[in-house]
Chains A and B, each alone.
Chain A
Amino acid sequence: MLTAAVYVALGSIALALTLCMVRLMRGPHPADRALAFDTLYINTIALLIVLDIYLSTSIFFEAALLIALTGFVATAALARFLARGKVME
């Protein structure tokens, strides 16, 4: 039963990633693409967590933690650039 649940979870996260890609490509505004990127990295964290459960390890958690850190910084920098035209002042 757990295996089935893991497969369903992996499938739905893959679907979610595809939906994010649709918005990322469709836009229309750069702000939409930044939002799609933000969702994309959070969903990637989710994928790594489920993979860890699937493989019964903990090796991906370090990667998930790193993506959480860098993803936020990337979103913040991107949003500031789009809002002001520069990252630092």
Chain B
Amino acid sequence: MLDLLVSVLLLVGSLFIVVGAFSLVRLPDFFMRLHGPTKSTTLGVGSLLLAAVIHTADGLTLHKLLIALFLFMTAPVSAFLLGQVGLRRRVTSRAPLPEDFPGSHQ
């Protein structure tokens, strides 16, 4: 029963990770590519970690949860910083880049 839960979590997690990486290759412009990995990978790694917590119940549960917590905290920051690169260097974008946004060229 527990094995079934671990297996399902493993499959769901790896599915989201593949979708995230796939969107990196598939989507046409930088700002759209930013969406796939930053989201899918956090949930992907999240469910893989949950599977690991259930599978190997030892004293290191907190280490695993700490990785998940850290990734969920840093994913928005990474996405923001990478987005700043796109805005400042004016990467080609399908959506028209805002001309007048003050934060984008200080």
Q: Do chains A and B touch in the complex (CB under 8 A)?
A: yes
Taking Cβ atoms with an 8 Å cutoff, the residues of A that contact B are 1-2, 4-6, 8-9, 12-13, 15-17, 19-20, 22-23, 29-32, 34-36, 38-39, 42-43, 45-46, 49-50, 52-53, 56-58, 61-62, 64-65, 68-69, 72, 75-76, 79-80, 82-84
The answer to whether B81 and A58 touch across the interface, beta carbons within 8 angstroms, is no
Q: How far is the CA of A31 from the CA of B88 in the complex (A)?
A: 11
- B3 on the interface (CB 8 Å rule)? yes
Q: How far is the CA of A84 from the CA of B106 in the complex (A)?
A: 10
Q: How far is the CA of A20 from the CA of B17 in the complex (A)?
A: 11
Interface residues of B in 6-51 (CB under 8 A from A): 6-8, 10-11, 13-15, 17-18, 20-22, 24-25, 30, 33-34, 37-38, 41-42, 44-45, 48-49, 51
Known interface pairs A16-B22, A46-B41, A68-B70; 8 further A-B residue pairs with C-beta atoms within 8 A, sorted by A's residue number: A5-B10, A9-B14, A20-B24, A32-B30, A32-B33, A34-B85, A49-B49, A61-B52
The answer to whether B14 and A19 touch across the interface, beta carbons within 8 angstroms, is no
A20 to chain B, nearest CB (A): 5
Q: How far is the CA of A23 from the CA of B8 in the complex (A)?
A: 29
A42 to chain B, nearest CB (A): 4
Q: How far is the CA of A53 from the CA of B18 in the complex (A)?
A: 19
Residue interface mask B90-104, A partner, CB < 8 A = 1: 011000000000000
The answer to whether A50 and B41 touch across the interface, beta carbons within 8 angstroms, is no
**Residues of B with C-beta under 8 A to A20:** 21, 24
The answer to whether A50 and B60 touch across the interface, beta carbons within 8 angstroms, is no
The answer to whether B24 and A31 touch across the interface, beta carbons within 8 angstroms, is no
Q: How far is the CA of A80 from the CA of B30 in the complex (A)?
A: 17
8 contacts across the A-B interface (CB closer than 8 A): A17-B21, A23-B24, A23-B25, A45-B71, A53-B10, A53-B52, A68-B71, A76-B81
